[in-house]
């Protein structure tokens, strides 16, 4: 069973949508929410991945349902939210986590590539949140957490994603202001480097960068998926009832690093790993074998 730091039953009977729930941070968060009693609607493009996670959650004693959908498709998103509402009777929370990008320098990004990344990481998140608001949360309140990225000061090598994520931060702030009247809180979590399955999606050319990434973090390592999930669950929970329009950075202090300041450690901060099914991405497993 998931070893959450949060109280058992904290989300009992609440319906929570997790987009990108088929892998990585989304899968981990779905497990934690289900372990705390939530009924989880898993959204993603690949039905098989969602079905696998739904089975894992059922095997762990939780409740989760697969809802395949491409969040770039406006009509499909409206239908998705309607279907979830019809099936479960309510929507209490949304984890707007689906995303993805490919490494490329700005000068090499085509308009098509740029727009694909912006549609996935910005427009899709907007559409999903808007439909949750209009179809459900406007009438019953709720909480939304948008997952962005450590893009502060630019995101060289992934400028399309950086621009989209920065847009999502501003969307978070505006939605927090406009939707407070309905009892809806909107916040964001900005993860830094995370040892999640998403790392295996990058091409071999960036393997060296991935393996060195932890060295640029004051805490001298990557995050576990559960360290990100814990922040998301906190922001969704009643303990965050006065937090609205905030971005919670979960990055080990990476954005504050100045050139030349030594990143030596006398003592490590032990990672928190509550996810009973966690496994290292292959790229990090291979390094451990070397």
> At its nearest, how many Å lie between ligand ADE and the CB of residue 183?
27
Task: Closer to ligand ADE by CB, 124 or 162: give it.
Answer: 124
Q: Which residues does residue 95 pair with via DSSP β-bridges, in sequence order? A: 18, 145
> At its nearest, how many Å lie between ligand ADE and the CB of residue 111?
18
> At its nearest, how many Å lie between ligand ADE and the CB of residue 135?
18
Residue nearest to ligand ADE (CB): 98
The dihedral formed by the CA atoms of 148, 5, 272 and 206, expressed in degrees to the nearest 10: -20
Task: Closer to ligand ADE by CB, 4 or 96: give it.
Answer: 96
Judged by CB under 6 A, the chain residues 67 through 126 that form the site for ligand ADE are: 69-72, 98-100, 120, 124
Task: Closer to ligand ADE by CB, 93 or 98: give it.
Answer: 98
Measured CA to CA, the distance from residue 109 to residue 105 in angstroms comes to 7
> At its nearest, how many Å lie between ligand ADE and the CB of residue 70?
4
Interaction between residue 66 and ligand ADE (CB under 6 A): no
> At its nearest, how many Å lie between ligand ADE and the CB of residue 206?
19
Binding mask 123-162 for ligand ADE (x = CB under 6 A): -x--------------------------------------
Judged by CB under 6 A, the chain residues 198 through 227 that form the site for ligand ADE are: none
Q: What is the DSSP string of 155-179?
A: -TTBHHHHHHHHHHHHHHHHHHHHH
Q: Quick check: 12 and 6 in contact, CB under 8 A?
A: no
Instruction: Figure out which of the listed residues 44, 159, 191, 198 binds ligand ADE, where binding follows CB under 6 A.
Output: 44
Q: Quick check: 17 and 10 in contact, CB under 8 A?
A: no
Interaction between residue 20 and ligand ADE (CB under 6 A): yes
Phi, psi dihedral angles at 188 (to 5 degrees): -135, 155
> At its nearest, how many Å lie between ligand ADE and the CB of residue 45?
4
Tokens in use for 275?
């996810």
Interaction between residue 45 and ligand ADE (CB under 6 A): yes
Task: Closer to ligand ADE by CB, 14 or 27: give it.
Answer: 27
- Residue matched to tokens 């960036």: 206
> At its nearest, how many Å lie between ligand ADE and the CB of residue 19?
6
Interaction between residue 172 and ligand ADE (CB under 6 A): no
Measured CA to CA, the distance from residue 47 to residue 100 in angstroms comes to 17
Measured CA to CA, the distance from residue 56 to residue 64 in angstroms comes to 9
Cβ neighbours of residue 262 closer than 8 Å, sequence gap 6 or more: none
Q: Is 191 exposed, middle or buried (0-12, 13-18, 19+ CB in 10 A)?
A: buried
> At its nearest, how many Å lie between ligand ADE and the CB of residue 120?
5
Measured CA to CA, the distance from residue 240 to residue 235 in angstroms comes to 5
Task: Closer to ligand ADE by CB, 68 or 255: give it.
Answer: 68
Q: Quick check: 26 and 18 in contact, CB under 8 A?
A: yes
Number of residues that bind ligand ADE (CB under 6 A): 13
Residues that bind ligand ADE (CB under 6 A): 19-20, 44-45, 69-72, 98-100, 120, 124
């Amino acid at each position: 069973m998931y070893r959450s730091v949060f109280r058992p039953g904290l989300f009992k009977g609440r319906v929570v949508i997790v987009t990108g729930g088929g892998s990585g941070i989304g899968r981990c968060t779905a497990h934690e929410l289900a372990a705390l009693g939530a009924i989880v609607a898993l959204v993603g493009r690949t039905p098989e991945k969602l079905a696998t996670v739904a089975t894992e959650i059922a095997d762990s004693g939780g409740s989760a349902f697969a809802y395949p959908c491409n969040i770039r498709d406006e009509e499909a998103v409206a239908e998705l939210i309607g279907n979830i509402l019809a099936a479960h009777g309510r929507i209490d929370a949304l984890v707007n986590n689906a995303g993805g990008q490919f490494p490329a320098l700005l000068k090499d990004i085509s308009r098509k590539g740029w727009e694909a990344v912006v549609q996935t990481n910005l427009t899709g998140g907007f559409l999903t949140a808007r439909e949750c608001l209009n179809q459900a949360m406007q009438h019953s309140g709720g909480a939304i957490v948008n997952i962005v990225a450590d893009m502060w000061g630019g995101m060289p090598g992934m400028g399309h994603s950086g621009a989209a994520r920065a847009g999502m931060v501003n969307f978070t702030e505006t939605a927090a202001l406009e939707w407070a009247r309905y009892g809806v809180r909107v916040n964001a979590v900005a993860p830094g480097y995370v040892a999640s399955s998403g790392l295996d999606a990058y091409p071999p050319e960036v393997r060296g960068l991935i393996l060195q990434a932890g060295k640029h973090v004051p805490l001298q390592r990557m995050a576990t998926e559960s360290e990100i999930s814990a922040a998301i669950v906190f922001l969704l929970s009643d303990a965050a009832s006065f937090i609205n329009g905030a971005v919670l950075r979960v990055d080990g202090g990476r954005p504050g690093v100045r050139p030349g300041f030594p990143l030596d450690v006398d003592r490590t901060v032990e990672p928190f790993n509550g996810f009973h099914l966690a496994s290292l991405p292959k790229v990090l497993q291979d390094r451990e074998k070397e």
